[in-house]
Amino acid sequence: MTLPRPAAGAVALFAALWSGVCRADEPYRLAEGDEVRLVAPGAPDFSGVYLLGEHGGVALPLTTPVNLEGLTLPEAATALREALSAAMVRPELGLELTRRRPFFITGDVAQAGMYPTQAGLTLAQAVAVAGGGRRAAVSDLQTAVTAIRAGEELDVAVRSLGESRLRLARLEAEIADAADFTPDPALFAQSSQAGAQGDLALVAAREREIFLASSAAYQERLAALSRQRETRDAEIAALEGRRTATERLGAQLAGEMKEVRDLLARGLAPTMRLNALTREADRQQSDLLQIGVMLNQARQGRNQIDLEIANSPRERRVALLERALETRARIDALRRQVEASAALTVESGGAARTGAGAALRTVFRVTRRGAATAEETADGGLPVRPGDLIEVRRILAAPWAAE
């Protein structure tokens, strides 16, 4: 992406603000993007202007790249002198900083882009260098239409933000296994508009009904699982009793078959009687096998119910946490939408819709060179460092826009 060149007016303002300003208490340290001039009287081939490349490297003729990252000018001169000692005898050289690496500014400024960094420059002054805050130039009619639309969008966003906060409060109460949920009146009283407060009060009552219904449904599910387990226990007990009775009957048949075989051996009993007992014994064994299968299925069913009962709290908590995360993400998105709509409303002359106590404030999101994360601050007096990426946001400071 090609960043716009600063306008002549911005450059003039910059020069007027910072001509002659220099801080000597903190030595400047070189990094990628700085430009230095090397003067080697005895070796004009090495003299010239060099731009520090990746990791602060400088490529000199006939030498390997020299890393100047993080060095002061005297330290960098020493490093260059050591690098040139391989090609020169007692090299003498001078080093000066011809151009500092720039800072970058974007967001709600008139002229986003890349600007030279000067010692003592603050965040607020960087906004001035970039042409000040951004404001669209529109006609009075367009301004009125914009104010109306922005105000309507603000109303919707404020209500949606309040609803999401109430929903999150209800989810957090469910996660904590609270016995009841009474919404904090502050969650829907933050809006300065009576209509929005009334609507959110109804939403709060609805969220409490949802909480009670959800808690009742969860308890009913646990109770239903407990009843299913009791039914399985009764089924298992009945099958075990049936198996015991069948085994007892099988033992009786085995004894009777032994007696019949003894009588048959002496010729005192007919073969037909033994055959009948054998068929009955086979039937008993088949019953035992069937009972065993049914008993195994019943026990597996009971184990499954026990598993569902044990896992129900965890599964419910996981589901609630996922919904809470989604709601938090929606709250963040709505908060940004509220800030944008409110800022546009104030800019276009519809400040009355935003309520008492509402005012625009400037927030700076600064990404420092080498930092893993960006820092957010409202202190415009903080210094700008070379290489900073500054994102400027103008947001509305209002009670309902707070965390």
The predicted-structure confidence for 158-188, as pLDDT tens digits, reads as follows: 888 888 888 999 999 999 999 898 877 666 5
- pLDDT, position 6: 43
Position 395 confidence tier, pLDDT thresholds 50, 70, 90 = low
CB 63 within 8 A of CB 87: yes
Query: 0.75 cut: is pTM over it?
Result: no
220, two tokens: 């009913």
- Residue 268 carries which DSSP code? -
CB 393 within 8 A of CB 107: yes
356 pLDDT exceeds 50?
Answer: no
- pLDDT, position 291: 93
350 pLDDT exceeds 80?
Answer: no
- pLDDT, position 15: 38
44, two tokens: 């004009």
What is the rounded CA–CA span in Å between residue 108 and residue 111?
A: 9
Domains of the chain, each with CATH number or no CATH = 16-99 (3.30.1950.10), 101-134+357-402 (3.10.560), 144-348 (no CATH)
> 225, 245, 290: which is closest to 233 by C-alpha?
225
96 pLDDT exceeds 60?
Answer: yes
- pLDDT, position 10: 42
- pLDDT, position 42: 75
- pLDDT, position 25: 54
278 pLDDT exceeds 60?
Answer: yes
Average pLDDT over residues 104-114: 89
